[in-house]
Amino acid sequence: MDVMKPMIEEAEKDLLHTYNRYQIVLDHGDGVYLYDANGKKYLDFCAGIAVFALGYNNREYNDALKAQIDKLLHTSNYFYNEPAIRAAHLLKEVSGMDRVFFTNSGAESIEGALKAAIKYAYTKDGGQHHEIIAMEHSFHGRTYGALSVTGNAHYREAFGTMPCDVKFATFNDLDSVKALVSEQTAGIILEPVQGEGGLTPATFEFLEGCRKICDDAGCLLILDEVQCGMGRTGSWYAWQRYGVKPDIMATAKALGCGVPVGAFLLTEEVAQHSLVPGDHGTTYGGNPFATVAVAKVLELYRKDHIIEHVTKITPYFEEKLDGIVAKYDCVAERRGAGLMQGLYFDRPVGALITDMMDHGLITINAGSNILRFVPPLIITKENIDEMISILDPAIERFSGSPR
């Protein structure tokens, strides 16, 4: 008996239709597997869009949340709470940044980062008009401020004037950034590895060049590490692979491994000359429940050597994906870094994703032609082999034949 059909029909009557959802009702997870309401098992190479880095049903993580539920869920930011103090200290240690502001999501982290950059520029020159330079094909979120720096005009066109004055440069083209810098430039925002824009890493020359532009112009480098951070590329944050430190950094997704939480982090210089009491706030941000999740995630990353595991498993993952590229004409190339990878096809991949779900593999796209892989960071070689055993014949069905 299919118990999912009536659930989906009820959802379509009650939920605002802003997602074209797959016709699956997920019920529970364990390790790197998810199970739907009918009991069907799926190998998950999506991880809730790069969220469940530790996999599902991690007992130490679950127990920490359960203990906090029985203790204290919320206080508001009029008071301190011990989990937030501990989480902020641990996050500073792994990020190399100086000040932390906890939010509820990645988009909110971007909003706060933009406000901090513009307030810093205002504090410095007293001017009322400042601009942000962002990248084409970037994605920073759906709220108004985050949308204003998202480099896809289609996402913005229905919503009129954006709250932030933004100019868009070409990712990995340093000259295009230099051409946009002016006295009004408050900051440059970019993803060290573009996610929705195609799993494209920044080149070292580009990221280092943007850092130098900001230093020379007196503006701030803002890095969006919402998807590519928290160990996904083989370091705590992707910028650490380059050795190019930002002035402001946004993080979320795997930061809470399922609990909705994000943060933006600042250097001491920016913190001392930007947001002050009354400039920014949040009711739920940094509450004890969310921050106990952050603290436990950071502790488990260290205890279970998650960063080292990503570095160790990545070459095998890349080798297997490169084998798919070599085998099929319809697959042009592999893109990405660490356990944030994509296969670029010569056609839309929607039908391929659905077929693989029918055969027990969950993946997602990044743009119409790119198949995205952002699995839990605990995957093994055996999990990768299982994924390939479903992916390979699915592409053969999808394309008609191998090379």
Burial grade of 326 (CB within 10 A; 0-12, 13-18, 19 or more): exposed
Q: What is the CATH number of the domain that holds 204?
A: 3.40.640.10
Average pLDDT of every residue of the chain: 96
Residues 13, 71 share a domain: no
Task: Tell which residue, 353, 348, 298, 349, has the closest CA to residue 90.
Answer: 298
CB atoms within 10 A of CB 236: 23
Task: Provide the pLDDT for residue 154.
Answer: 85
Task: Provide the pLDDT for residue 401.
Answer: 66
Range of the domain at 77: 60-303
| Distance in angstroms (rounded) separating the CA atoms of residues 227 and 194 | 9
Residues 381, 268 share a domain: no
Query: Percent of the chain scored above 70 by pLDDT?
Result: 99
Task: Tell which residue, 230, 286, 233, has the closest CA to residue 260.
Answer: 286
Residues 381, 334 share a domain: yes
Torsion angles phi and psi, residue 321, rounded to 5 = -70, -40
Q: Are 174 and 188 in contact (CB under 8 A)?
A: no
| Distance in angstroms (rounded) separating the CA atoms of residues 213 and 91 | 27
pLDDT surpassing 70 at residue 393: yes
Residues 321, 284 share a domain: no
pLDDT surpassing 80 at residue 403: no
Q: Are 226 and 53 in contact (CB under 8 A)?
A: no
| Distance in angstroms (rounded) separating the CA atoms of residues 175 and 205 | 11
Helix (H) or strand (E) holding 289: helix 288-303
Residue type at 93 in one-letter notation: E
| Distance in angstroms (rounded) separating the CA atoms of residues 165 and 180 | 12
Q: What does the pLDDT look like over 94-133, one tens digit per residue? A: 999 999 999 999 999 999 999 999 999 999 998 889 999 9
Q: What does the pLDDT look like over 135-178, one tens digit per residue? A: 999 999 999 999 999 998 888 888 888 888 999 999 999 999 99
Residues 50, 72 share a domain: no
- Domain boundary residue, one of 280, 303, 326: 303
| Distance in angstroms (rounded) separating the CA atoms of residues 32 and 387 | 11
pTM for the full model? 0.96
Task: Provide the pLDDT for residue 162.
Answer: 81
pLDDT surpassing 80 at residue 281: yes
Residues 172, 316 share a domain: no
Residues 366, 266 share a domain: no
Q: What does the pLDDT look like over 163-174, one tens digit per residue? A: 889 999 999 999
| Residue 108 neighbours by CB under 8 Å, 6+ apart | 143, 262, 282, 285
Q: What is the CATH number of the domain that holds 386?
A: 3.90.1150.10
- Domain boundary residue, one of 252, 279, 303: 303
Residues 213, 81 share a domain: yes
Residues 214, 70 share a domain: yes
| Distance in angstroms (rounded) separating the CA atoms of residues 244 and 242 | 5
**Residue found under tokens 């488990």:** 300
Residues 84, 38 share a domain: no
CB atoms within 10 A of CB 38: 13
Chain centroid to CA 5: 31
Residues 190, 42 share a domain: no
315-323 contacts at long range (C-beta below 8 A, 24 or more positions apart): 316/381, 316/384, 317/341, 317/373, 317/379, 317/384, 320/384, 320/385, 320/388, 321/373, 323/388
Number of domains in the chain: 2
| Distance in angstroms (rounded) separating the CA atoms of residues 28 and 26 | 6
The larger pLDDT score, comparing residue 202 to residue 402, is at: 202
Q: How does 96-118 read in b/e, with b if 16+ C-beta sit within 10 Å?
A: ebebbbbbbbbbbbbbbbbbbbb
Query: Percent of the chain scored above 90 by pLDDT?
Result: 93
Task: Provide the pLDDT for residue 358.
Answer: 97
| Residue 11 neighbours by CB under 8 Å, 6+ apart | 21
Task: Tell which residue, 384, 391, 231, has the closest CA to residue 317.
Answer: 384
Residues 323, 285 share a domain: no
Q: What does the pLDDT look like over 334-372, one tens digit per residue? A: 999 999 999 999 999 999 999 999 999 999 999 899 999
- Domain boundary residue, one of 279, 303, 327: 303
Q: What does the pLDDT look like over 51-100, one tens digit per residue? A: 999 999 999 999 999 999 999 999 999 999 999 999 999 999 999 999 99
Query: Parallel, antiparallel, or unpaired: how do β-strands 26-30 and 200-201 relate?
Result: unpaired
Rg of the chain over Cα atoms, rounded to whole angstroms, equals 21
